[in-house]
């Protein structure tokens, strides 16, 4: 059983308990960090729509909040909107109180590019460029980038998952 003073998160019948004290200094006014989570589910060309990605998006935002991140959750951004949000996060001077930055982008893509909701390609390298710029408020702080997307034409057919009896957990 998880103790009540621990953060609880139930995911696929697993109970992960994390002592908040291990991740956030109780005497500090800083949060663990700021996270931008982007889910590009709906595209202007319906053939690219990503049904079912809402669960991944919700789970990701929940987990990051659990770990003490302030989460900015965005959906279905066009190329210019995504570029603007990334630039704002990278250069916002109000980031002084945060210890780290985490960016998660979930969409379609190809080798080196992210497909935005207006079916435009945004190079993955351009996502990070503003964060390593001298103007970035994240200089000297950890910056993590996660891209959940295709990297070519190979299709993932998925896996059959068998349900385990509760006694195996």
The residues carrying an active-site annotation are 108, 150
Q: Identify the bridge partners of residue 70 per DSSP, sorted by sequence position.
A: 34
Residue 131 and residue 101 in contact, taking contact as beta carbons nearer than 8 Å? yes
- By the 10 Å C-beta count (0-12 exposed, 13-18 middle, 19+ buried), 34 is classed as buried
- What are the b/e assignments for 132-152, b being 16+ CB within 10 Å? eeeebbbeeeebeeeebbbee
Residue 101 and residue 33 in contact, taking contact as beta carbons nearer than 8 Å? yes
Q: Which sign does the torsion angle of CA 96, 114, 122, 49 carry? A: negative
- Quick count: other Cβ atoms within 10 Å of Cβ 70? 13
C-alpha 141/C-alpha 147 separation (Å) is 20
């Amino acid at each position: 059983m998880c103790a009540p003073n621990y953060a609880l998160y139930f995911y696929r019948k697993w109970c992960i308990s994390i002592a908040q004290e291990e991740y956030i200094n109780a005497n500090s006014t800083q949060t663990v960090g700021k996270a931008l989570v982007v889910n590009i589910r709906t595209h202007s060309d319906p053939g690219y729509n990503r049904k079912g990605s809402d669960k991944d998006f919700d789970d990701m935002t929940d987990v990051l909040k659990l770990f003490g991140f302030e989460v900015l959750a965005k959906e279905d951004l066009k190329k210019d909107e995504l570029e603007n949000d990334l630039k704002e996060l990278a250069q916002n001077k109000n980031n002084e109180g945060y210890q780290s930055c985490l960016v998660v982008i979930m969409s379609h893509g190809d080798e080196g590019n992210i497909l935005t909701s207006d079916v435009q390609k945004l190079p993955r390298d351009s996502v990070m460029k503003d964060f390593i710029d001298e103007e970035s408020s994240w200089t000297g702080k950890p910056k993590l980038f996660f891209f959940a997307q295709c990297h070519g034409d190979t299709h993932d057919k998925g896996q059959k998952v068998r349900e385990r009896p509760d006694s195996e957990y």
